[in-house]
A and B are shown apart, each in its own frame.
Chain A
């Protein structure tokens, strides 16, 4: 298990309390899970992705990550329409463990940009993990 000072925090991201990240800029945003999340989950062996075109509200479940022992639900950090899913994760779910920031899970068109304000900046997320 990684110590706090071993955890990686991506650049230009905001984080949810569920340990997901959203990229900070662009008309569409990528969504993934944090290094803390993948370290806690262990080896990811299957990813359940939503259909492209599906819309979800903030907080709604959009997919799952399966580890050897458990299933972790993925919740929308902000609401929006799914415009792309990371097809590489079908064959290689372990990519999320290897690099949770470059291996995004879904790409969304945000419904309401102000929802981003509720997410945590890097420092605040780090504080959350200390607690």
Chain B
């Protein structure tokens, strides 16, 4: 018993979570808040309608530095760093970041990541909780004799997310020179730095704390991820909460984080992506497809296996007709409307910001005063390429719920909103 207790990790905000009535649970190796006294529903809605903050310092970061850093990442990451930004697919530059996956040579997923180019020879790779060591080792193994230094920064980086339409209005109050910070801070760009992870121009909070502010997140809504020295996190957490008080900004736990990302159709590593080839899923943008959709723009680990094909299952997003769910796991499965078994449930949770009206999905963000009852949503892994609109049945052998395969789930998402509209 003693060994297991040593393995449970806590973030620096663990005491704060407990003191604020959090219902805690293990995520990876970390004891994390599922929800606070506010409850998962209010926390989910806060992000949709105002803003919420998340302790995400359980996530891991790896720095990759040196003359061959970019080449190493180009070999290991699915995204083509030479052809990835915007409609014209221009190369990655300082201050921009991209989403991709690290694959095994058989095309299965090690982890997904966001890769930040701080300088031409300095990158920060942000991965999931507990994965820092594995990703660092994977990069070192493939570096060979190349001129590159890889550092696992697990537990050394403070991180918190602020997500929701009011995020910019809140952060404006606590950064120095907000006009400069938010100028041209487009989706998947970042500014600032901390410790040795620096870009050309620093970003500081009013008290001088250096931060890296990135226009990214895991909710599908407008917002930011803040990175800083681990010793700064507790102070910055309180600072953001205080600055957001007059807008009703609240701390949000992992239950709301999961329901928000599911409604935004974002995958959870080792649940929606994992020990099967990264193909036939809602995230083809993570792969460097040529326009012909038949070849890639570069070679990378796992790429050849994906092109060989032969993977005959499909990862599809679904949304139900009410909040009822069937838990993913042993004993649950997916059938076609005919009753024929077709696959398994990967994720099933409830997006409390949406509901159905005459069959259409409506969000509280799209219609003022709409009372959303909530809809179950998530992903299934099935052997038929069901099209959007087709229904399948989720079941645990006893209960059955019908759900609809979807091209998109929660409408009116704000992640890509024009900055100018989000600051006043």
Chain A positions within 8 Å of B, measured between CB atoms, are 1-2, 39-40, 42-43, 45-46, 48, 64, 66-71, 94, 97
A70 touching B23, Cβ below 8 Å: no
A69 touching B34, Cβ below 8 Å: yes
A43 touching B324, Cβ below 8 Å: no
Could you show 10 A-B contacts with beta carbons less than 8 Å apart? A1-B21, A42-B40, A43-B39, A45-B352, A46-B322, A66-B323, A66-B324, A67-B40, A68-B256, A71-B324
Main secondary structure of the interface of A (DSSP, over half): mixed
CA distance A68 to B323 in the complex (A): 8
Chain B positions within 8 Å of A, measured between CB atoms, are 21-24, 34-35, 39-42, 44, 255-256, 258-259, 322-327, 349-350, 352, 373-374, 399
Chain B residues in 8 Å Cβ range of A45: 41, 323, 350, 352, 373-374
CA distance A6 to B34 in the complex (A): 19
B39 touching A97, Cβ below 8 Å: yes
Contact of A68 among B21, B326, B352 (CB under 8 A): B352
With contacts A42-B23, A48-B324 taken as known, whether A69 is within 8 angstroms of B41 at the C-beta atoms is no
Chain A residues in 8 Å Cβ range of B322: 46
Chain A residues in 8 Å Cβ range of B258: 69
CA distance A63 to B23 in the complex (A): 25
Residue picked from A48, A64, A67, most chain B C-beta under 10 Å: A67
* A-B contact number at CB 8 A: 64
Chain A residues in 8 Å Cβ range of B21: 1-2
Given A1-B22, A69-B350, A70-B325, 5 new contacts (CB under 8 A): A42-B34, A45-B41, A64-B399, A68-B259, A68-B349
A2 to chain B, nearest CB (A): 8
B40 touching A68, Cβ below 8 Å: yes
CA distance A39 to B21 in the complex (A): 11
With contacts A42-B40, A68-B41, A70-B327 taken as known, whether A1 is within 8 angstroms of B23 at the C-beta atoms is yes
Contact of A40 among B23, B255, B399 (CB under 8 A): B23
A66 touching B24, Cβ below 8 Å: no
Contact of B35 among A42, A64, A94 (CB under 8 A): A42
Chain B residues in 8 Å Cβ range of A40: 23
CA distance A66 to B258 in the complex (A): 16
Chain A residues in 8 Å Cβ range of B259: 68-69
A103 to chain B, nearest CB (A): 16
Chain A residues in 8 Å Cβ range of B256: 68
A92 to chain B, nearest CB (A): 10
B40 touching A43, Cβ below 8 Å: yes
CA distance A39 to B34 in the complex (A): 12
Chain B residues in 8 Å Cβ range of A2: 21
CA distance A66 to B255 in the complex (A): 13
CA distance A3 to B258 in the complex (A): 25
B23 touching A39, Cβ below 8 Å: yes
CA distance A39 to B39 in the complex (A): 10
CA distance A46 to B42 in the complex (A): 15
B41 to chain A, nearest CB (A): 4
B312 to chain A, nearest CB (A): 31
CA distance A43 to B34 in the complex (A): 12
Chain B residues in 8 Å Cβ range of A97: 39
A73 to chain B, nearest CB (A): 9
A68 touching B23, Cβ below 8 Å: no
B350 touching A66, Cβ below 8 Å: yes
CA distance A42 to B33 in the complex (A): 12
Chain A residues in 8 Å Cβ range of B44: 68
B370 to chain A, nearest CB (A): 15
Closest 6 CB pairs of A and B: A43-B41, A68-B40, A1-B23, A46-B323, A43-B39, A45-B323
A70 to chain B, nearest CB (A): 6
CA distance A46 to B355 in the complex (A): 13
Chain B residues in 8 Å Cβ range of A1: 21-24
A46 to chain B, nearest CB (A): 4
B255 touching A68, Cβ below 8 Å: yes
B374 touching A46, Cβ below 8 Å: yes
Q: Write the chain A residue with the least CB distance to B33.
A: A1
B325 touching A66, Cβ below 8 Å: yes
Chain A residues in 8 Å Cβ range of B326: 71
Q: Write the chain A residue with the least CB distance to B325.
A: A71
